[in-house]
Structure 1
């Protein structure tokens, strides 16, 4: 056994030595493997960079080729146009080289849309300024402007120049016609005067309205300036109309200010003074609300009162109750009222109960009944309930009997009862 233990110790030492040798070999092989991976990654990066450079060069070649093709196409078109003009000068109209180039470039020129114009006089200065500026800046031809006019003209404006929107050469004539119809100076001034005349006179206790009046005056000045109508800003009549819209105290302040203006005040100066006044009004504290009791008697709103009788209050507060038999139904569905009573008795019952002849309800009469309608029984065109309809024969006998007795028919249901007190007509307060 001692020999066996020595053998085991030696075998373990030998196995440990073999394992240590293996670990040393693995550690030595690991740096070599990492070096190979790094080299592969570097090679891949170089390949990607070369591919990117080749792709960029290809794109540049394609762009140069595209430009050459477009240039060749334009050159071929110009040469073809020149040959056509030389071979057939009579049958085909002459077109210059510049026009040919413009036609080829129509497809690549960006067109900026004009503002929509429907024939409103106030929109004309902006429309005309936009048209002239874009035409001059981007050098649009009549063909370009024709396409833009087709998009922006609507309503009356389009109807006015519909026949001039066919050929490009008619574009200047279309603009001239639009200016005559909607952009004449007299039309522009008239529209602005109408705005001023429609503004209500500002009261002393409504100084906050000066803000809106200042904005409108400033817009009038800007509009007349943009429309090249500055000479109207010296119109004394127009200035007087503007001043009369102010409260008397502000008119006095403007007069003191205008005395020092040389040679004479204009609407533009009035607009500047009014803008300063509007800024002051903006800084004022809000107007304190005035209670109803503090208002003068003439400014108090009339109070409206509605009086209801006991029967009406019971009708609104409780359930439905028949006025004839006190049953839980309406009087129009009452068997006693509709079948047992005769038509004259029904009339007397309705009058005694002060019911509406049309709907058989309390609280109003036939003249102000909201659901009144014709009887339509036997073509009757009177406003009463169908249960109160009398045939022509019965009505004739009843009239004859009343005429013989000398009695006057009662047309007002409130006169049928005199024992319950005097009833007066409602008078609005």
Structure 2
């Protein structure tokens, strides 16, 4: 087969040039010799690529792996040859002729990696910009550009690239742009991504930053497309705010003007600060708990560890029904009988005295029961709910600890 012989001839020519230049001594080739070697290597590689594509187009599926392996081997040799020659050319050109001023020192930068395109619309713009800058707008041979395009686009996600014969580089690149460079579909994709941000009930740094990053990416893509996103604040801000937790929504509302429309930049800046403060609060809380624990051990000897609940900071959220109120104002909680309330408090791991997270009744500084003056909340007092059985033993049977501590059995209800 003619293509097979021509490809083999091109491979041998590239290898001969590589063997000739890999042991090159500094100064043994002048600038013109180096440029000629580089031009010859590029010409032979273009010849190799053209015949290689013809053979791949007529190959059986079982033969494609062998062709791909050969391509990688030849490409490595060609790239190594070009690297050596370009390095020598730079060294030759840096030596100034006699009687001239030396050139300014040149910094060699590592080549940028071409991102892999997975066939999703939301990743097309980033891939297109990078590929056009690194490959499409360069002076590389068309065959080399075609090989890079096939490497950068996933054939399993975009079958157009992995077909037996997909045309030349210009034809394939045009087909990809016709399919993915669609302003209507791109706008719909990024607007849909913005609208479908998953709401979060977690008031954590990670949850907030995930929303911030998604908004940044979607708005940046729409801005690149030339859409007037700078005038969308009145629409986008409420959409994003609705995805936040109740506590973060409350903080955002308190920081806004009651009459002016906030901008999206203001919201994103607020969320960045909020995420930072939440991550810092967790560190400071843990640090304070360690210091308090060590101080208590020095003062009164070994004691049981008390679990710190960062969620206790959110006192405006009902831990029973998750509503925007405290548990003492919860209609469902107040409608239950005393025994049911006690069970609910146990399940939520609340303090039996103040009905908050983060400590036990023995450590609580809130006031005592209004009915019997013992260390439990008035809503949990059996004496007020069952007058006929309001003996001292019954009243004292309300648990005194949350789930983070253990008390003697005689104090259990």
TM-score by length of 2: 0.40
TM-score by length of 1: 0.38
Query: Over alpha carbons, which structure has the higher Rg?
Result: 1
